[in-house]
Amino acid sequence: MIGFVVVSHSEPLAEAAVDLALQMVHGEQPPVKIAAGAAGGFGTDAAAIAGAIDALADSEGVVVLTDLGSATLSSELALDLRESSQPVRISTGPFVEGATAGIVRAATGGTLEEVVADADSALRAKQPDAGGAPTAPATDPAPEQKDTAPSAEHAVIERALLNPMGIHSRPAAVLVKEAGRFDATIEISDVTTGKGPVKAKSMVGMLSLGTAKDHVVRVEATGPDAAEAVAAFDALILEGFGELDD
């Protein structure tokens, strides 16, 4: 699994960012090391960052997340000081959003490049048109469900979201984890707005859709486990991701 080194000028800030990210992980958590503060104060220490990277020598790769520009400079110096040889990437993404997106993707077994890509693009979820150019909503109400008979390699459903806040951070993290269970390529679109499709293994991609309550989403899967994957996603949607009132 991919590991993380979180580099911040402030140890409390780093701890809070890691705590938030790990709240989104269901199941095994990626290894995370914090290299924050300098001499017990404010700043960054290249030697401490190198030590944190070396502590993750058994991981498949390491993503370094930084809060400010000088933290990035310290991290670059740390690459020259470290003793371990596993591949390391310094993310250019936002500190909090990048940590959350990257750690969630790593928990699904994402490769180093996949994890870095999600961390680097994490701000995309805050951009209004990130999920694709929206189209005008249909005049007639969209159907709550539209099922397409699955084949061995392909399955599709369309289902209206029931939970009050739609696909926000927690449901997105649940869907990412679920997507990792299946041998299938799973994509999600917002039929109501016309945004998508995005990969279900990308938390950033799903958040970029801005999918709200009562929006109809299309879940499409291709691969050996397509039918099982779509059925599992359908069940999560019907359960409101555990957010429905009794």
Q: Which residues are catalytic?
A: 168
CB within 8 Å of 69: residues ≥ 6 apart = none
Q: Are 93 and 64 in contact (CB under 8 A)?
A: no
CB within 8 Å of 116: residues ≥ 6 apart = 63, 89, 91, 102
User: Measured between alpha carbons, how far is 234 from 100 in angstroms, rounded to an integer?
Assistant: 25
Distances (CA, A) of 33 to 39, 107, 212: 17, 15, 35
Q: Are 99 and 119 in contact (CB under 8 A)?
A: yes
Asked if the bond preceding 197 is cis, omega within 30° of 0, the reply is yes
User: Measured between alpha carbons, how far is 6 from 63 in angstroms, rounded to an integer?
Assistant: 8
